[in-house]
Chain A
Amino acid sequence: MLNFLDLIVGFPVPIILALLLNEIRIKWFKRTAQTMLYLPHFISWVVISGMAIQLLATNAGSVNVFLNKLGFESIPFLSDETHWVFTYLATGIWREAGWGMILYLAALTAINKDLYEAADVDGATRLRKTWHITLPGIRPTIVILLILNIGYVATIGFERPYLMGNPGVREVAEVLSTYVYTVGIESGRFTIATAIGLFQSVVGLVFLLSADYISRKVNNQGIW
């Protein structure tokens, strides 16, 4: 469930970032922004969760202290289930969006510059150029990454839910991989935990192959 939300919310963000960054012509600004955007990718989930707790805790978290000062109520970012899901998604985007952008940026540089010039001659606006030239230009990249991400939907993510979760939000924070950990390692019920883990792997593979199959049918393009 969390992973599906992750995919739906998180997938478009790097594309949008790449498109925006692509429009910037000031070289040094572009480079600095890129450096800053990639940085979170190299920070571990342990540290990110630690930071999230420091910043977002209901009582002493910096954000809530700040809100209280302004006269607002505290927001239970980590303890309320709905809020927690948003926080969870946000940390995922915070960490990975900049990194995901790299591939799109690379794909963007491969687009034929003549197309833009032709569009300029025809008087196309910037938005139209983005829509009709840039997006179709990076479509193969988008499709491949989408397939791969669908394949990972069932498999990824032990560290993030495990580290971000707390007893108050167990209902939503429990995903297959954390369940396998709790049942298998903590309670030592290896048989059932192995079965769940294997099931997870199989589902992931099925997702991947079917996404690839559909993409081949529709787009004539797969990952292999």
Chain B
Amino acid sequence: MYRAASAKIMDAVIIAVIGLISVLCLLPMIHLFALSFSSNGAILAGKVSFIPVGFNLVAYKSVFQHAAMLQSMFFTIGMVLMYTAIAMLMTIVAAYPLTKKQLKGRDLFLVLIVITMFFSGGLIPDYLLVKELKILDSVWALVLPGALSAFNLIILKTFFSGIPIELEESARMDGASYFRILVNVILPLSLPALATLSLFYAVGRWNGFQDALIYINSQHLYPIQLKLYALVISGQANDLSIAEAQNAGAPVPQSLKSASIMFGTLPILLVYPFIQRYFISGSLIGAVKG
């Protein structure tokens, strides 16, 4: 009797702890969400916690009216799509041959690829390379250097290797070329892995900041993260409100910054519930190799 009761208490404690931690993961987002919709007076008076007070859309209105912000958003979306397409193409054509035992020098290639995961020349050589390639301050500086991730390549190679060799052999009997096999046999069987890796690439690119900071100078090539950085962190929020400085209804920095942050994070938050299980399965494919 005593045992069962103590076990129940233990259960309750564990649930409470996990519940608390989970909520902690969301609270900052919810708070910013509330701030972004609240009226100036309520924010300055410190009345806003997790529910918008004095609901209004002024902050979002200024974000959406900010041409550079919208432009940066569209640019980022386009850039992420292009990057993901190129990166997936590269990863697929690199991973497939590496599953073939008869490929000469396969082990050497693999070692060379794995080394890049643990050792790199560093920031400056990368920068000089991009500079010498004459792609500094262009969209290619964001797309090309990261167009193949060694980690994702190995995940995909592992996945390809798991496809029964018999399928491929029978396709070869029927006279299919390697290219045909890749497109008609291997890829259709790998859709979950392909979806996961595309998402890895896309989210990584969406959230990427460092390379943009280093390679990009022109305002019109600012990806959304760099834009957010300029607005929210290095304190140029005034940029946003200059247009409305004369306007008495201009939102206070808090709600403006919150709205910008929500604006830049929204795409991720929107797709997150639908894609999170792919992420998990993907990260586990990677784990199995160990």
Partner-B contacts on A (CB < 8 A): 17, 20-21, 23-26, 29, 32-33, 35-40, 42-47, 49-51, 53-55, 60, 62, 65-66, 68-69, 94, 98-99, 102-103, 106, 126, 144, 151, 158-159, 162-163, 177, 180-181, 184-185, 190, 193-194, 196-198, 200-202, 204-205, 208, 223
Smallest distance from the beta carbon of B23 to chain A beta carbons, Å?
Answer: 7
Q: Known contacts A37-B25, A94-B25, A185-B127: does B203 contact A42 (CB below 8 Å)? A: yes
Smallest distance from the beta carbon of B264 to chain A beta carbons, Å?
Answer: 6
Residues on A with beta carbons closer than 8 Å to the beta carbon of B209: 44-46, 159, 163
Q: Give A154 to B238 CA distance when docked, in angstroms.
A: 37
Residues on B with beta carbons closer than 8 Å to the beta carbon of A194: 121-122, 124-125
Residues on B with beta carbons closer than 8 Å to the beta carbon of A106: 284, 287
Q: Do A47 and B228 touch across chains, with their CB atoms under 8 A apart?
A: yes
| B179 on interface, CB distance cutoff 8 Å | no
Q: Known contacts A159-B209, A201-B119: does B124 contact A193 (CB below 8 Å)? A: yes
Partner-A contacts on B (CB < 8 A): 7, 10-11, 14-15, 17-19, 21-26, 28-29, 31-32, 35, 46, 48-49, 118-125, 127-128, 203, 206-210, 214, 225-226, 228-229, 232-233, 254, 257-258, 260-261, 264-265, 268, 272-273, 276, 279-280, 283-284, 287, 290
Q: Do A20 and B122 touch across chains, with their CB atoms under 8 A apart?
A: no
What is the interface of chain A mostly: helix, strand, loop, or mixed? helix
Q: Give A196 to B119 CA distance when docked, in angstroms.
A: 14
Residues on B with beta carbons closer than 8 Å to the beta carbon of A33: 18-19, 21-22
Residues on A with beta carbons closer than 8 Å to the beta carbon of B28: 51, 55
Q: Do A180 and B122 touch across chains, with their CB atoms under 8 A apart?
A: yes
Q: Known contacts A47-B228, A103-B287: does B207 contact A42 (CB below 8 Å)? A: yes
Q: Tally of A-B residue pairs with Cβ under 8 A?
A: 169
What is the interface of chain B mostly: helix, strand, loop, or mixed? helix
Q: Do B290 and A50 touch across chains, with their CB atoms under 8 A apart?
A: no
Q: Do A184 and B124 touch across chains, with their CB atoms under 8 A apart?
A: yes
Q: Do A37 and B124 touch across chains, with their CB atoms under 8 A apart?
A: no
Task: Report which residue of A50, A151, A198, A223 has the largest number of chain B beta carbons within 10 angstroms of its beta carbon.
Answer: A50
Smallest distance from the beta carbon of B259 to chain A beta carbons, Å?
Answer: 11
Residues on B with beta carbons closer than 8 Å to the beta carbon of A55: 28, 31
Q: Do B283 and A103 touch across chains, with their CB atoms under 8 A apart?
A: yes
Smallest distance from the beta carbon of A96 to chain B beta carbons, Å?
Answer: 11
Residues on A with beta carbons closer than 8 Å to the beta carbon of B207: 42-46
Residues on A with beta carbons closer than 8 Å to the beta carbon of B118: 151, 204-205, 208
Q: Known contacts A54-B35, A126-B7: does B25 contact A39 (CB below 8 Å)? A: yes
Task: Report which residue of A21, A33, A54, A151 has the largest number of chain B beta carbons within 10 angstroms of its beta carbon.
Answer: A54
Residue of B nearest to A223 (CB): B290
Q: List 18 A-B contacts (CB under 8 A).
A: A20-B17, A24-B11, A32-B22, A36-B23, A40-B25, A44-B265, A47-B265, A50-B261, A51-B32, A60-B254, A126-B7, A162-B210, A163-B229, A184-B127, A185-B214, A201-B120, A202-B119, A204-B119
Q: Do A201 and B290 touch across chains, with their CB atoms under 8 A apart?
A: no
Q: Give A43 to B266 CA distance when docked, in angstroms.
A: 10
Smallest distance from the beta carbon of B24 to chain A beta carbons, Å?
Answer: 8
Q: Known contacts A25-B11, A29-B15, A190-B128: does B273 contact A53 (CB below 8 Å)? A: no
Smallest distance from the beta carbon of A134 to chain B beta carbons, Å?
Answer: 14
Residues on A with beta carbons closer than 8 Å to the beta carbon of B232: 46, 50, 53
Q: Give A167 to B49 CA distance when docked, in angstroms.
A: 29
Q: Do B287 and A35 touch across chains, with their CB atoms under 8 A apart?
A: no
Q: Do B225 and A37 touch across chains, with their CB atoms under 8 A apart?
A: no
Residues on A with beta carbons closer than 8 Å to the beta carbon of B264: 46-47
Q: Do B123 and A44 touch across chains, with their CB atoms under 8 A apart?
A: no
Residues on B with beta carbons closer than 8 Å to the beta carbon of A44: 206-209, 225, 265
Q: Give A146 to B209 CA distance when docked, in angstroms.
A: 27
Residues on A with beta carbons closer than 8 Å to the beta carbon of B124: 180, 184-185, 190, 193-194, 197
Q: Give A60 to B284 CA distance when docked, in angstroms.
A: 42
Q: Give A42 to B225 CA distance when docked, in angstroms.
A: 13
| 7 nearest A-B pairs in the assembled complex, by CB-CB distance | A197-B122, A44-B207, A50-B232, A36-B22, A65-B46, A194-B124, A33-B22
